[in-house]
């Protein structure tokens, strides 16, 4: 049988399965899993001693994660996920009645929901800007600029979108917001390890996941807050650090929780470093271009023309006229998993359905060729 996931020394992924969706939930290297297991065993051997040791270890880990992002550690807090980061940011900004929260039509569904919740609670409204898939940076900035005005309470924008795997010109959008006095909230869920220093583009708030591309244990994410917002940015869970004046420490304590993931996360960064990640990432980028073409050819479709695609994700058009229902999409993914032994994700944008392919260090071109050989049989 073909071994589909190489390097079993590094990864524990089922070798009989095509793992082509790193973008959704990541995958944790074997070494990090082993460290995590050791930490949890240590906690269970003596929970009291473990919780006494957590603050110091958490601080060390947080500093390493901030250094990885090349961001000021005084403005960097740990959060369990990008959803929590966006919610904490929305909780920190003033949203006057009658104001508007601006997002694009690429925004992640749950982030749109968060904006809707805060808009509703404050008698504000959500405004969604249409940004075409093919829009280049100038077109993106122009589309967003057209709706920003004195009523805008914040711009919430993806750094790399989920459904469309598109890189947004965050530095320019953040500068535009600053010039207009509008807070910017950047959803960088996919940005760590796909972009270098993603938190340094000048946004008021930036959040990103370590549990996606940096392959950290799940529930590890960061929130970077510009200096003027640090005092009023509070964790969503009120705990013992409520009155801590420093932002990072205020977020460190979230009640009794499993802090082992945060403590183990830097191990995954070491694995990436050993894989010479930036070089590997650019190889993966070339590889996924090729893989996406092979799949599109097999499906008789094309690779979506995203002006600025994410390094290691590509959209391949599905051979359907419209978007299948959510239920039909879930059923198709389940069939692909059960019958083809392939894990893929489907996305939709502007009435068009896509397969969103990922590439991480465990993928090879052969993976996409195998998918291309199998997928037409179930569509």
Which residue ranges make up the site for ligand PLP (CB under 6 A)? 24, 81-83, 108, 110-111, 158, 161-162, 187, 189-190, 209
Closest CB to ligand PLP among 100 and 212?
A: 212
Cα–Cα distance measured from residue 357 to residue 369, given in angstroms and rounded to the nearest whole number: 12
Q: Which is nearer to ligand PLP, 78 or 370 (CB)?
A: 78
Beta carbons within 8 Å of 204's beta carbon, 6+ residues apart: 89, 93, 174, 177, 183, 184, 185, 225, 226, 228, 229
Nearest to 86 by CA among 178, 188, 212, 231: 188
**Which of 50/87 has CB closer to ligand PLP?**
87
Nearest to ligand PLP of 161, 370 (CB atom): 161
**CB nearer ligand PLP, residue 162 or residue 372:** 162
End-to-end Cα, the chain, rounded Å: 24
Instruction: Considering the complex, state which of residue 298 and residue 358 has its C-beta at the smaller distance from ligand PLP.
Output: 358
CB of residue 187 vs ligand PLP: minimum separation in angstroms? 5
Kindly write down the DSSP assignment for every residue of 281-298, as one continuous string.
HHHHHHHHHHHHHHHHHH
Beta-carbon contacts of 41 under 8 Å, excluding residues fewer than 6 positions away, are none
The secondary structure of residue 122, as a DSSP letter, is T
Shortest separation between residue 153's beta carbon and ligand PLP, angstroms: 20
Query: To the nearest whole angstrom, how small is the minimum distance from the Cβ of residue 348 to ligand PLP?
Result: 14
The least distance separating ligand PLP from the CB of residue 341, rounded to whole angstroms, comes to: 23
Question: Whole-number minimum distance, CB 86 to ligand PLP, in Å?
Answer: 7
Least distance between ligand PLP and beta carbon 114 (Å): 9
Within 8 A by CB and 6+ apart from 273, the residues are none
Cα 283 from Cα 379, distance rounded (Å): 30
């Amino acid at each position: 049988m073909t071994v589909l996931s190489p390097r079993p020394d590094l990864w524990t992924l089922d070798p009989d399965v095509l793992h082509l969706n790193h973008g959704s939930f990541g995958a944790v290297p074997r070494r990090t899993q082993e460290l995590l297991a050791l930490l949890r065993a240590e906690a269970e051997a003596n929970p009291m001693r473990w919780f006494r040791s957590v603050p110091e270890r958490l601080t060390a880990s947080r500093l390493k994660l901030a250094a990885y992002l090349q961001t000021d550690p005084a403005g960097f807090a740990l959060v369990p996920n990008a959803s929590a980061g966006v919610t904490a940011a929305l909780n920190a900004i003033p949203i006057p009645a009658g104001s508007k929260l601006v997002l694009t039509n690429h925004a992640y569904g749950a982030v749109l929901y968060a904006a809707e919740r805060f808009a509703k609670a404050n008698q504000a409204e959500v405004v969604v800007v249409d940004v075409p898939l093919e829009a280049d940076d100038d077109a993106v900035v122009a589309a967003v600029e057209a709706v920003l005005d004195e009523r805008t309470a914040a711009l919430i924008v993806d750094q790399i979108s989920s459904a469309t795997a598109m890189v947004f010109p965050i530095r320019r959008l953040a500068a535009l917001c600053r010039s207009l006095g509008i807070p910017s909230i950047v959803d960088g869920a996919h940005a760590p390890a796909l972009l270098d220093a993603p938190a340094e583009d000048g946004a008021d708030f930036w959040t990103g996941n370590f549990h996606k591309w940096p392959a950290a244990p799940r529930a590890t994410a960061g929130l970077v807050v510009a200096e003027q917002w640090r005092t009023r940015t509070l964790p969503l869970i009120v705990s013992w650090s409520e009155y801590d004046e420093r932002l990072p420490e205020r977020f460190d304590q979230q009640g009794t929780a499993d802090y082992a993931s945060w403590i183990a996360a830097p191990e995954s960064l070491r694995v990436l470093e050993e894989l010479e990640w930036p070089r590997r990432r650019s190889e993966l980028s070339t590889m996924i271009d090729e893989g996406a073409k092979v799949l599109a050819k097999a499906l008789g479709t094309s690779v979506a023309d995203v002006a600025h695609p994410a390094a290691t994700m590509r959209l391949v058009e599905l051979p359907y006229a419209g978007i299948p229902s959510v239920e039909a999409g879930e059923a198709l993914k389940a069939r692909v998993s059960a019958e083809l032994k392939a894990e893929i994700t489907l996305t939709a944008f502007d009435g068009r359905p896509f397969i969103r392919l990922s590439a991480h260090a465990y993928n090879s071109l052969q993976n996409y060729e195998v998918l291309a050989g199998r997928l037409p049989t179930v569509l």
